[in-house]
Amino acid sequence: MPKLIQISDCHIDDQRLVMGVDSQKNLQSVIKYIQTVKSDALLISGDLTHHGTLSSYQILKKILSPIKQPIFVIEGNHDDAENLGQVFKEHLFKTFRLDNWEIIHINSVQAGKTSGLASEAALLELDNTCLNSNADHVMVVLHHPILPMNSSWDDELSLENPQDLFKVLDKHSKIRSIVFGHAHEASEFSRLGKKIISCPSTALQFNQETRIGFNEFDLHKNGTINLKTQWI
């Protein structure tokens, strides 16, 4: 049974203080904790850095250096695609496998905008990838929330066209879960038997939660998922 760890919204910058917190120190605390957990992969679901500078990705890579398991990353709205690709090229992915699970990325980032959008091309690619997958179970990952968060979060900053995405998600029974970041909070929802899960930030939360955290997923062979959100 593979274990997947998800962290999100690290917001590493050239300066240590970001949004009033030391995002580098906070991430170092999370990485120290993750080192004690036996896992198979680390997923970072966007906003790796705050301003997308090349040096901030280099700082991030150094902070992540103690991690021995494979690292997989996706772009967030704060990231710079070119600089991210320069430093984390080998960690960017469209899909990866963990036992009989396939983790599939759909890009939701819009240039110059905080809110997300699943383009027609991205939706078609997701549909085809699910159709052609020989995995028993699928987890879909993107940066933006895909449904109302029922919190202080501004839903206008989430995915602009969630219904277009759900038309694809609803077609594929092997999709067990959809996970994302961006909202800086831990939440869990369910829709048509699929778990929809938000990851807290390693920098700070946008609700009343004062701790930093990350998600642990146990991915069972029968398609069930055990989620544990760890707080520090």
Q: What is the pLDDT of residues 68-123, one digit of tens each?
A: 999 999 999 999 999 999 999 999 999 999 999 999 999 999 999 999 999 999 99
Mean per-residue pLDDT over the chain, rounded: 97
| SS3 of 81-137 | HHHHHHHHHHHECCEEEECCEEEEECCCECCCCCCECCCHHHHHHHHHHHHHCCCCE
Are 89 and 79 within 8 A, CB to CB? Answer: no
* Side-by-side strand order, sheet with 95-98: 95-98, 101-105, 137-141, 175-180, 194-198, 187-191
The answer to whether the pTM exceeds 0.85 is yes
Residues listed for the chain: 232
The CATH superfamily holding the domain 3-231 is Metallo-dependent phosphatases (3.60.21.10)
Q: What is the pLDDT of residue 205?
A: 98
What percent of the chain shows pLDDT beyond 70?
A: 100
Q: What is the pLDDT of residue 106?
A: 98
Given pLDDT bands bounded at 50, 70 and 90, which one contains residue 3?
A: very high
